Amino acid sequence: PSAVKLSEYRVPDFLIDHVEMDVVLDGPATRVSARMSLRRNLQGRPDAPLILDGDDLRLSGPLEIDGRALPLSDYSVAAQSLVIPAPPEGPFELHLVTALDPAANTKLMGLYRSSGTYCTQCEAEGFRRITYFLDRPDVLATYRVRIEADRAEAPILLSNGNPESAGSIEGTDRHFAVWHDPFPKPSYLFALVGGDLAQLKDSFRTMSGRDVELGIYVEHGKQDRAGYAMDALKRSMRWDEEKFGREYDLDVFNIVAVSDFNMGAMENKGLNVFNDKYVLASSDTATDADYSGIEAVIAHEYFHNWTGNRITCRDWFQLCLKEGLTVFRDQEFTADMRSRPVERISDVRGLRAVQFMEDAGPFAHPVRPESYREINNFYTATVYEKGAEVIRMLKTLIGAESFRKGMDLYFERHDGQAATIEQFIACFSEASGRNLDQFRLWYSQAGTPTVRAKTSWDEAGGTFTLELEQAVPPTPGQDTKKPMVIPLAYRLFGENGTPLSVENSSGDGELIVLSDAHSRIDWKGLPKRPVLSLNRGFSAAINLQTDLPEADRLFLARHDDDAFNRWQVLQTATTEVLIKSVHALRSTEPMPDDAPQIEAFAAALAHTALDPALLAQLLTLPSEADLAREIGRDVDPDAIYNARLRLKQSLLAALEDDLRARYEATSVPAPYVPDAAGAGRRALRTVLLDLLTARRDERSAHIAYAQFVSADNQTDRIGALAVLSQIESRLREDALDAFASRFAGDGLVLDKWFALQASIPEAGTLERVQRLMQHPDFSLSNPNRVRSLIGGFASGNPTQFTRPDGQGFAFLADNVVQLDRMNPQVAARLLGAFRTWRALEPVRRAEAEKALRKIAESGSLSADVNDLVSRALT
Ligand code: HT7
Ligand code: ZN
């Protein structure tokens, strides 16, 4: 398909104000009748034909306009559209019926069946797989939906909005329900569910005293695993009232969990549909990470009710308007519910591991892209996570008060509209009185800016100087870049760690706003050279290169009152040592001295008052992906793996007693509670276990095995199994077998088991993964299974995926081609593993290229896969 361009946006020529749908769920004979109230858009082209979008549709019966059948000569139906060249001039009602077979819909877009339940997914362009429509986000309509189905097969019938009526169909085993959504919405927010599901009920009283009925629908027998999701939902509803003044607006709010789902969840108005992974949890089946994932995704989808649904996007280029903003909101929610510094560290870890990688490779694109061939490929870390960072920087720049005023103005001014980034930013410009034109470059320039910071000290004049230099690297289609607005939060420390309150020459409190390519800041009248803590809390999403002397780093590691930067200095120092080790392992250079790392880790371990969650972060080495990104070119994943293992072994050799003592102290015989305190303690336990078993010998296997067998919750069990799976040992196989028999048939739990095995850094792993694809609980048609096993191998096993013989790449290529025939979205997502292929050393790079070319040449690819492969190769 040809590219869609932001610069070519045109308002719709027609509008649809209201839709009456009648959906008869009847297996392969399912029918959808749609009556649309249409009118010409006075802002559109006066003589334009009516062109409705369609995808893989079959019309059933004639088209009717205002109750009269339209002659066949008055319209045409093509693969992707239905065209009426000369529709009536005034408002009219168009009626059409489509015939669907939901069970045959393997793309999981439009109306499909998941374990027998009828459900829909319409974002971004799935509604056109249900009926012909103006399937674009700037066409907003109200909907009334009647659903009819066999009562035994589908006792639960749900759609958007409020329930209006329900009843039996006389003389049959069938029944119906009618739903009405009074809020105009784009078609991508349409949803419908029909199935035999169990319901967890609750209610919520809103800030203005209205009672909202809450329902979470899951497979029968799983309702006792939905309690945490319900609790997270109620906390999200309260938080949005308290922090953003946003109240829920319908009488009901329903969530349905399904097991076959392309992404995490979907924010359909009043009827969120979720991947069951983000709803179902019990201490025996879910880890702390699963619980916090549920909390975050429930909150995220709920927050979309205002940022996405009440105010939606004018077009798909504005995707970050809803996604970046909503990720920012869910991150803030998690920070308030759990630990703010720990949340920030883990968000930044994620950002660097995925988004910074994306920004540095062939898939780099601006937060607001300017063209796309397949919109599904733009649900990326750049749009979501960098999009959230841009909002965070905006808030830092204008201050919390102006930010809140800007949000209030945005809600007031654009409620009920399909908006743009320009309109959004204008609200903050007005609220703060600041010109944000240059700030908008964050939306249009791809690439992660690098900021170089150089400090100097003039003893005689008592002046401390900081020189800053920024540059944004070239990215596909953007060779030259302009300087960005970069908000750098900072603090100066004097002796003993006391913060200094001295104005800098740019006068902005403890914030430097860098907007030129170069700039210089002076602090005058200081008695002694201060220590600078820069980019506190990761205030700007940049690569910061500083010239901090070793003494300053040690000082900050001890005294910085910003926990994020305390973590950052240690990460930076550890990264440097590891990179030196990587070079040494690949050459005849001597191995670096890791004594400073040992000293820093010892100091952290000795700090008994430290939050265990924070200590876990401090003791976690930079990941293999982090190191690959920092190295940037000629990457050898084996050397990276060995450098990390070597450092863990040095730490163990030097600190074994301390590590063991801390490890033993994390074992508390209290019942499992999925709260932040417990999660922090358990995270620390697994990090310590990983270090304690770094020798990877039989004794190490026994230590991990002991935790595995004694665990009374899934976090400790999986933590132990993850560590044990890295050790070649009979105990590993015993533990894996025990886990598989205990959780046989429970796909969600086995996903962890698949992913762990896929990540084993051994030569036999590829064969293991191929074997596991034959496992009775694996299925290529279930996206969660594919992501854990195939995705776990491609994205979670750097040494084996990039095997120098190319077998890892070839395996992924074959599976992408096969999967593409079934589910292009899931197939294309797997290709994310190729985002860094050009940075590999030459042998692996050549093999990666061979695999990509093989996919490209395999013929009849979907638009999704075709787009990514061709971008990967250019
Ligand atoms: N807005 C949603 C994104 C989405 C999606 C979800 C499920 C399946 C296909 C999808 N395509 C796009 C989810 C969100 O970001 O909140
Ligand atoms: Zn979202």
Write the pLDDT tens digit of every residue in 688-721.
999 999 999 999 999 999 999 999 999 999 999 9
What mean pLDDT value characterizes the chain? 97
Is 534 part of any domain? Answer: yes
Please confirm whether the linkage preceding 124 is cis (ω < 30° from 0): yes
CATH number at residue 327: 1.10.390.10
Is 737 part of any domain? Answer: no
Q: Is 262 in the pocket of ligand 1 (CB under 6 A)?
A: yes
Is 714 part of any domain? Answer: no
Catalytic residues: 301
Is 712 part of any domain? Answer: no
Query: Tell me, what's the pLDDT at 433?
Result: 98
Ligand 1, pocket-test mutation among 127, 260, 266, most atoms within 8 A of CB: 266
For residue 35, give the nearest of 141, 189, 166, 107 by alpha carbon. 141
Residues 202 and 296 in one domain: yes
Ligand 1, pocket-test mutation among 261, 263, 375, most atoms within 8 A of CB: 263
Ligand 1, pocket-test mutation among 122, 123, 312, 331, most atoms within 8 A of CB: 123
Average pLDDT (754-771) is: 98
Å from CA of 741 to ligand 2 middle = 36
Is residue 825 a contact partner of residue 786, using CB atoms and an 8 Å limit? no
Residues 535 and 546 in one domain: no
Question: Which residue range(s) make up the domain with 843?
Answer: 743-874
Task: State whether residue 366 is helix, strand or coil.
Answer: coil
pLDDT-derived band at 507 (thresholds 50, 70, 90) equals: low
**Chain centre distance of CA 680:** 22
Give every CB contact of residue 277 below 8 A, 6+ residues apart in sequence. 264, 290, 293, 748, 751, 784
For residue 487, give the nearest of 421, 590, 424, 397 by alpha carbon. 397
Q: Is 124 in the pocket of ligand 1 (CB under 6 A)?
A: yes
Residues 85 and 203 in one domain: yes
Å from CA of 442 to ligand 2 middle = 20
Q: Is 379 in the pocket of ligand 1 (CB under 6 A)?
A: yes
Q: Is 267 in the pocket of ligand 1 (CB under 6 A)?
A: yes
Shortest-distance atom of ligand 1 to CA 275: 7
Atom 14 of ligand 1 has which residue's CA nearest to it? 266
Residues 227 and 79 in one domain: yes
pLDDT-derived band at 529 (thresholds 50, 70, 90) equals: very high
3-state SS string over 826-848?
A: HHHHHHHHHCCHHHECHHHHHHH
Residue matched to tokens 């703060």: 432
Query: Tell me, what's the pLDDT at 667?
Result: 87
Atom 12 of ligand 1 has which residue's CA nearest to it? 123
Share of the chain above pLDDT 90, in %: 97
Residues 291 and 352 in one domain: no
Å from CA of 686 to ligand 1 middle = 32
Ramachandran region, residue 433 (left: φ > 0; alpha: ψ -120 to 50; beta: rest)? left
Atom 13 of ligand 1 has which residue's CA nearest to it? 266
Shortest-distance atom of ligand 1 to CA 300: 16
pTM, full prediction: 0.98
Give every CB contact of residue 39 below 8 A, 6+ residues apart in sequence. 14, 15, 17, 90, 91, 92
pLDDT-derived band at 668 (thresholds 50, 70, 90) equals: confident
Query: Tell me, what's the pLDDT at 30?
Result: 98
Q: Is 230 in the pocket of ligand 1 (CB under 6 A)?
A: no
Q: Is 300 in the pocket of ligand 1 (CB under 6 A)?
A: yes
Write the pLDDT tens digit of every residue in 624-644.
999 999 999 999 999 999 999
For residue 471, give the nearest of 532, 542, 368 by alpha carbon. 542
Is 726 part of any domain? Answer: no
Atom 15 of ligand 1 has which residue's CA nearest to it? 323
Residues 330 and 270 in one domain: no
Average pLDDT (470-476) is: 98
Is residue 183 a contact partner of residue 161, using CB atoms and an 8 Å limit? yes
Is 738 part of any domain? Answer: no
- What is the C-alpha to C-alpha distance for residues 187 and 136, in angstroms, rounded to an integer? 7
CATH number at residue 457: 2.60.40.1840
Domain boundary among 303, 328, 362: 303
Residues 661 and 796 in one domain: no
DSSP state of 127: G
Residues 491 and 583 in one domain: no
Atom 7 of ligand 1 has which residue's CA nearest to it? 263
Residues 244 and 128 in one domain: yes
Residues 489 and 555 in one domain: no
Ligand nearest to the CA of 137: 1
CATH number at residue 596: 1.25.50.10
Task: State whether residue 114 is helix, strand or coil.
Answer: strand
Residues 212 and 294 in one domain: yes
Q: How many domains does the chain have?
A: 5
Residue type, 281: A
Is 720 part of any domain? Answer: no
Å from CA of 226 to ligand 2 middle = 21
Residues 265 and 355 in one domain: no
Write the pLDDT tens digit of every residue in 294-338.
999 999 999 999 999 999 999 999 999 999 999 999 999 999 999
Element (H, E) at 749: helix 747-758
> What Cα–Cα distance (Å) separates residue 165 from each residue in 21, 168, 516?
14, 11, 62
Is 786 part of any domain? Answer: yes
For residue 445, give the nearest of 492, 483, 493 by alpha carbon. 483
pLDDT-derived band at 505 (thresholds 50, 70, 90) equals: confident
